[in-house]
A and B are shown apart, each in its own frame.
Chain A
Amino acid sequence: MDWDRQPHRGPGSGNIQDLEEVLRRLKNRYDFSKFPRGSILWIGLIVVLILIGFTSYYTVDPQETAVVQRFGKFVRTADAGLHFKIPFGIETVRKVVTGRVLQREYGYRTIEPGIRSRFAEKGYEEESRMLSGDLNVIDLQWTVQYKVRDPMDYLFQVQDVESTLDDISESVMRRIVGNRYVDEVLTVGRASVADMAETEIQEIIDQYKTGLQITMVKLQNANPPDPVKQAFNEVNEAQQEKERMINEAQQVYNQKIPRAKGEARQKITQAEGYALERVNKAQGEVARFSDILTEYEKAPEVTRSRMYLEAFADFNNKIDRLIVIDGSQQNLLPLFDIGKMSTPESAEGKQ
């Protein structure tokens, strides 16, 4: 066959001489003859040993798991610590971070983590914009936290696991939001959307054996798109306005009703007062009248005259003037100047 002719080409004409030339030059450059022959061997041996030494161990950090492959075939995994392997590339080691929770962000990126992290949203609108089930548009930002559960699957089953996770996460989130009303996603549905997304993403990445474990899906901002935000705020304002109107009316109510109740009580107590007064007065008057009547009945004539005269005297004290005319006098009135009668100077006669 073709291939076993190959070695005979080796000792052919030009090659050897070239090789001799090379060896000679090498010999001249590193003048080994200075060293004893045995020591060259030893040095070579030591160099080889050092090389073996350096390529036959590896260390694994606590958060990592090492996957060892012999000639590309998986043989074992190794946890944190110092480990040995067959050198010269026969066994290769790949380290996968398994002990750490990693995070993917959708619709935003953390620029600078810290106590007050800074986030970038610009340029990621495409990731966050989605349609809800009632065909409205909503901007949703979320985070998926995960860790590598199975380093072998992670390395050997799917190419580019992280971007696969991105695809699945985006498609699952859109499916779930597509099954909800926009109001629900914005308000009460947040937690259930996140829970559903978590189980569903896990299910799908398990089907592909990505070796990932989703630890948490968290909704960050859920907002209506900017042009619509104003209108959504208006709804909130209207809600507040409604509350305000109700409160105002309640306020007027609370102002007027207790006052009216008080006034009503006042009216009733006043009436009660009137009643007491009226009855007492009547009883008093009657008592007085009865007493006088008793006395009057004892001597009617005398008492009558006395009472009359006393009363007239009292009466006379309380009026301006008293004009006495003869009983036979007719048409007397024209004699008086009615207008002047009120002035005391023009008195005809005051008794």
Chain B
Amino acid sequence: MFSKGIGIIAIVVLVVVGIFAASAFFVVDETKQVVITQLGKPVGDAIKDAGLHFKIPLIQKANYFEKRVMKWDGSPNQIPTKDKKYIWVDTTARWRIKDPLLFLKRVGSTSTALSRLDGIIDSVVRDRVSNNNLEELVRSEGWEEARQKLMEAGLPDLQFLGAFRQTEGDKLIKGREKITREMVADASRLVPEFGIELLDIRIKRINYVESVQEKVFERMISERKRIASQYRSEGEGERAATLGQMDRELAKITSEAFRTSQELRGKADAQATAIYAEAFGKDIEFYEFYRTLDFYKNFNNPKSSFVLTTDADIFKYLKNSAGTSGE
């Protein structure tokens, strides 16, 4: 009976020690940091080193907080820009608990922190967006260089749009990076009192609101139509140019051919004339006679009738064999 009593006591002691040990030791993961509170009051510095740690059992409590960088994701806001363009802005931010003691005191939990950040970041974003033109929010550092590079590459469609014309409004004043840095700077002034460090705010998405988007689509369509008609008229112009060139060449070819052939013919005629003149000039009277006879010989019209008088040479023997005239 005595040994049994000893055994029971031993077991009880073991269990109690176990409970003590379990509540005295606590494990801190690499991803966590801990604030010890004693009856609700924070004690000592925050524990940021991972490993096995000790606290007074039962009256001290380990409050775990995330040590890693966390993400804040805002819901998209409809905000007008400075140039009165309505856009949806979707932002995201990264933050971490820098001072867990303060965080525990002022905020308490991650979900509360996120809702605090909602308020702060939303208002900062709203301020900055409505203080800047849309171009500033879309473009960022290097816009001018990017355009320069593009000009060198040469895109024909862009030349039609006159995109390379430098205009005053195209100068980038700030750009997206600078604006988001300003957002971070503004928000960072407000968050330290919560024990939070804000690492960045990023504009994840910017889109036109539905009604503006339709207008933008219309503009895009009209721009494209402009480019298309430019191409068409270029085509027509090229065609006209080619056809004009063709007409010119045709005129040149035919007229040159005409000239050459006329020259050739003229030379030949002249040569022939010279030959004739030289030969026929020897006896002009005989030439006339000869040619006239040639004409008679070669005359060929079977339907023709001729009336001759008996005075013709051929009929000189018709009335008498002496060939003398009747008179």
From known contacts A73-B50, A249-B243, A304-B289, infer whether A285 and B276 are also in contact, taking CB-CB under 8 Å. yes
Size class of the A contact interface (CB-based, 8 Å): 35 or more
Q: Select which of A234, A281, A286, A342 is within 8 A of B228 by beta carbon.
A: A234
Chain B residues contacting A135 (CB-CB under 8 Å) are 134-135, 138, 216
Contact, CB under 8 Å: B261 / A267? yes
Stretch at the interface among B53-61, B101-109, B123-131: B53-61
Any chain A CB within 8 A of the CB of B224? yes
Q: Which residues of A contact B9 (CB under 8 A)?
A: 11
Q: Which of B222-244 contact A (CB under 8 A)?
A: 223-225, 227-232, 234-236, 238-243
B73, B289, B310: the one contacting A326 at CB < 8 Å is B310
Chain B positions 34-59 with a Cβ under 8 Å from a chain A Cβ: 49-52, 56-59
Output the residue of A74, A238, A246, A252 with the most chain B CB within 10 A.
A238
- Whether B224 and A228, one on each chain, are in contact in the complex, defined by CB atoms closer than 8 angstroms, is yes
Query: Pick the contact of A184 from B27, B142, B155, B310 — CB < 8 Å?
Result: B155
For B21, list chain A residues within 8 Å (CB): none
User: Is A323 positioned at the interface, with any CB of B under 8 Å from its CB?
Assistant: yes
Q: Contact at A237–B246, with CB atoms within 8 Å?
A: no
Residues in chain B near residue A281, CB distance under 8 A: 272
Residues of B contacting A318 in the complex (Cβ-Cβ under 8 angstroms): 299-302
Q: Is the CB of B275 within 8 A of A283?
A: yes
Asked whether any CB of chain B lies closer than 8 Å to the CB of A325, the reply is: yes
| Contact status A178-B176, CB under 8 Å | yes
A256 on the B face (CB < 8 A): yes
CB-based contact A133/B139 at 8 Å: yes
A286 to B241, CA, bound (A): 55
- B190 interface hit (Cβ, 8 Å): no
Interface size class, chain B: 35 or more
State whether B50 touches A252 (Cβ < 8 A).
Answer: no
| Given the contacts A175-B140, A281-B272, A342-B303, A324 and B68 also touching, CB distance less than 8 Å | no
A133: chain B residues at CB < 8 Å are: 135, 138-139, 143, 146-147
**In the complex the two chains form, what is the Cα distance from A268 to B258 in whole Å?**
8
A321, B224: Cβ atoms closer than 8 Å: no
| Chain B residues in 8 Å Cβ range of A263 | 254, 257
* Contact indicator B286/A293 (Cβ below 8 Å): yes
Give CA–CA (A208, B94) in the complex, Å. 9
Known: A159-B70, A184-B155. A320 touches B213 (CB 8 A): no
**Chain A residues with Cβ under 8 A from B50's Cβ?**
69, 71-74
Q: Which of the 9-residue segments A41-49, A76-84, A116-124, A305-313 touches chain B? A: A305-313
**In the bound complex, do residue A69 and residue B264 qualify as a contact, i.e. CB atoms below 8 Å apart?**
no
Known contacts A10-B12, A11-B12, A73-B50; A290 and B232 CB within 8 A of each other: no
Closest to B145 in A: A179
Query: Hey, which chain B residues are within 8 Å of A326, CB to CB?
Result: 309-310, 326
Q: Is B75 an interface residue (CB 8 A)?
A: no
The answer to the question of B165 belonging to the interface, with a C-beta cut-off of 8 Å to chain A, is: no
Listed in ascending order, the chain B residues whose CB lies under 8 Å from chain A are: 8-9, 11-13, 16, 20, 27-32, 49-52, 56-59, 66-71, 73, 92, 94, 134-135, 138-140, 142-143, 146-147, 150, 153, 155, 157-158, 163, 176-177, 199, 202-208, 213, 216-217, 220-221, 223-225, 227-232, 234-236, 238-243, 245-246, 249-250, 253-254, 256-258, 260-265, 267-269, 271-273, 275-276, 278-280, 282-283, 286-287, 289-290, 293-294, 296-297, 299-315, 318, 325-327
Q: A72-B29, A238-B228 are in contact. List 18 more A-B contacts (CB 8 A).
A: A2-B58, A126-B205, A130-B207, A137-B220, A156-B67, A171-B203, A181-B147, A188-B153, A242-B234, A245-B235, A270-B261, A275-B268, A278-B265, A278-B268, A293-B282, A310-B293, A321-B305, A326-B310
